[in-house]
Structure 1
Amino acid sequence: MNIKTVKAGDVKNNKYHFIGAVFIILNYLRHRFFRYKTPRAFSVNEIERSIDYDFKVVDSWIEYLRFYSKDEKPLTKKVVLELGPGPDFGAGLILLALGAKKYIALDVNKLAFSSPVKFYEKLFERLKERYTNCNIEHLKETLSKCYKNEYAEINYIIDKSFAISKIKEKVDVVFSQAAFEHFTDVEKTFIELSNVVNQGGVLVALIDLKTHTSWIRDRDPLNIYRYCDWFWNTFKFKGSPNRVRVFEYKDMLEKKGWVDVKVEPVAVVEEEYLKKVKPRLNKKFRNMDSSEMKTLGFLLMARKK
């Protein structure tokens, strides 16, 4: 599996500590007064880019799922759950085109109705080109029923407390793309997942551990780990990074009875940057092993026992 090494450039600890703190406060104020509206770094009106993104995400999920399950057709007749689907149902429609029985999407904010009609028109064209045997008319009907809140192969659940217990049917596969790092209570999420996932069901989650705010993330990707809990908790908001690290995800899953838990780094920071920054991190992160703190993104895979 390819691992990307992120180069951060010159390290300016004092400057980045101050600027990062300002960004944290501004983000807190922005989300408090304007709420969460932009789950991606680009607009939903960038049609081709959005569609390319959805295909790229699903392709990576399938690659990882095949790698983990050793099954060439791991979606056939499976009920799939996506945690945090974002601003469209592109991934869900692609999964259905690939043979999934049903797609369930759970989110805190009602974002997936925000994409323009043109997005789906182009997506259906791309689906027909790529999967010539898929039933486009049925997918269109399924999407229409979803928008009307009618029962269909797409089940969109919005819950402010992100209660997985709202899901009333058993799930075979759980996908998540850069969402777990935003969950307020990861342990609770794993407990509730354990109740809805079938025995033998699989979790595939890509988790982004680096600083999310633009400008500072490219220069100081570990910026969010500089600050003490008091400061961080004072200005955190629903959806802000939870600062849970790789080993904690693994430990929580195993304690909840999941097996074959695998963690695969997909992005790491360069050693030179880590050496300069680590002494200036908050104590609990500073005391973690360097191999743990160098990971900026990883793939989490596990099977429900």
Structure 2
Amino acid sequence: MTTTGTPIIGPGRLSMSAARHPNPLWWTLGLGLGLANAVRHRGKAYRRPRPYTTEEVGRSVDYVVAVVDRWEEDGVRSWEGLRVLELGPGPDLGTGAVILSRGAASYTAADLFPLAEDAGSRYYDALGERLGVPVDLDRIGYHVTAFPGLPGLDGPYDVVVSSAALEHFEDVPATFARLAELAAPNATMTHHVDGMVHMRGIRPRDPLNLLRYSDWTYRRMSFPGVPNRLRASDYLAAAEATGWRARIVPGRVATDAYVERVRPGLARPFRDRTDLATLTFSVVCARD
């Protein structure tokens, strides 16, 4: 049991003291920021999927290397000779360069918006120095396409990956079904999912804020790419329903005290869920 003002800190857990637990103020703040985001992003969606640009070269290089390292920790045993598809690579194609440097036969990226077109040569030069081999953009396939149909992609792919992308997909079950069609025999998938609210001012103190609102209210805050509200068990069910063997690898986890404090204030469909504490996680899948 926690005492007031005593933070809970543990491996992979979110530090949250009783003094910082959300109250009705967070509902109002989340609604205001959500409506403002809807006005700002409607029609053009996310243009800044990360809180910094590739002009911050060192930070960007560290990030893409860490993303690939985490895919390896959670599910990808080796890239050697494999055909790789990444969904939603974001503002650059650095993860593809890292994967190719580790032996992949090919790398293809698919995104709904052309976010990676503005990454500059200075960034790729720095990434090449980090990898010890120049980045060859001619070896990287990049498709701006539609989801979940993914027109223009033929496959087959041995590995499908994503990082902080699936939470922005409107139809995850249909996406998993399409990926099953594009998958080679014995293909695998590893998707890192961020199930926390994406509003930076609220995120550290009320990570489940996006679950506070009714469907009607949340639709008022929607725009292309707005985070969906699926939880870990929803992704697991979607994968298994489309023929993937799947498991969840938890990442960041909220304290029990936080979850029980906010549970009564969540929208009715979420109040009795047993997977609320799992804030970030990986969906690791395999196909027989």
TM over 0.5: yes
Contact 1:165 1:196 in 2 (8 A): no
Aligned amino acid, residue 56 of structure 2: E
**Deviation by residue 1:9-52 (Cα, 9 ceiling, x = unmatched):** 41242100000000110010010165321011222210000000
CA distance in 2 between counterparts of 1:184 and 1:156 reads 21
Does 1:304 find its partner at 2:287? yes
Secondary structure of the 2:118 match is: coil
> How much does 1:161 deviate?
4.1
Secondary structure of the 2:13 match is: strand
Secondary structure of the 1:216 match is: coil
Secondary structure of the 2:154 match is: coil
Matches within 5 A, 1:101-112: 101-112=105-116
Sort the Cα spacing of 1:104 and 1:34 in 2 relative to 1 into closer, same or farther, 3 A.
closer
Q: 1:294 matched to which residue of 2?
A: 277
Aligned amino acid, residue 253 of structure 1: A
Q: 1:77 matched to which residue of 2?
A: 81
**Deviation by residue 1:210-232 (Cα, 9 ceiling, x = unmatched):** 11110101111110000001111
> How much does 1:169 deviate?
2.2
Q: 1:218 matched to which residue of 2?
A: 204
CA distance in 1 between counterparts of 2:262 and 2:287 reads 38
Q: Percent identity?
A: 34
> How much does 1:155 deviate?
1.0
CA distance in 1 between counterparts of 2:272 and 2:114 reads 39
Structure showing the higher helix proportion among its residues: 1
CA distance in 2 between counterparts of 1:300 and 1:255 reads 14
Q: 2:3 matched to which residue of 1?
A: none
> How much does 1:165 deviate?
4.1
Does 1:25 find its partner at 2:35? yes
Does 1:282 find its partner at 2:257? no
Q: 2:180 matched to which residue of 1?
A: 194
Q: 1:131 matched to which residue of 2?
A: none
> How much does 1:164 deviate?
2.3
Q: 2:251 matched to which residue of 1?
A: 266
Matches within 5 A, 1:216-255: 216-255=202-241
**Deviation by residue 1:53-89 (Cα, 9 ceiling, x = unmatched):** 01111111122235xxxx4xx2111000000001111
Contact 2:197 2:203 in 1 (8 A): yes
CA distance in 2 between counterparts of 1:238 and 1:34 reads 7
Secondary structure of the 2:284 match is: strand
CA distance in 1 between counterparts of 2:83 and 2:123 reads 25
CA distance in 2 between counterparts of 1:203 and 1:108 reads 19
CA distance in 2 between counterparts of 1:108 and 1:34 reads 11
Aligned amino acid, residue 120 of structure 2: P
Aligned amino acid, residue 42 of structure 1: Y
CA distance in 1 between counterparts of 2:199 and 2:165 reads 15
**Deviation by residue 1:110-145 (Cα, 9 ceiling, x = unmatched):** 1112122110111111111xxxxxxx35x43xx1x3
CA distance in 2 between counterparts of 1:86 and 1:222 reads 24
Secondary structure of the 2:55 match is: coil
99-108 vs 272-281, greater mean Cα deviation: 272-281
Secondary structure of the 2:109 match is: strand
Coordinate RMSD, CA, aligned = 1.6
267-276 vs 161-170, greater mean Cα deviation: 161-170
Secondary structure of the 1:298 match is: strand
Aligned residues: 277
Counterpart of 1:124 (choices 122, 125, 128) is: 128
Secondary structure of the 2:37 match is: helix
245-254 vs 8-17, greater mean Cα deviation: 8-17
Gaps of 5+ in 2: 1-9
Contact 2:42 2:224 in 1 (8 A): no
CA distance in 2 between counterparts of 1:242 and 1:33 reads 18
221-230 vs 164-173, greater mean Cα deviation: 164-173
Matches within 5 A, 1:9-88: 9=17, 10-32=20-42, 35-66=45-76, 71=77, 74-88=78-92
Does 1:206 find its partner at 2:184? no
> How much does 1:234 deviate?
2.5
Q: 2:16 matched to which residue of 1?
A: 8
Aligned amino acid, residue 106 of structure 1: A
Secondary structure of the 1:202 match is: strand
CA distance in 2 between counterparts of 1:82 and 1:32 reads 25
**Deviation by residue 1:264-298 (Cα, 9 ceiling, x = unmatched):** 11111112211210111001100212xx1111011
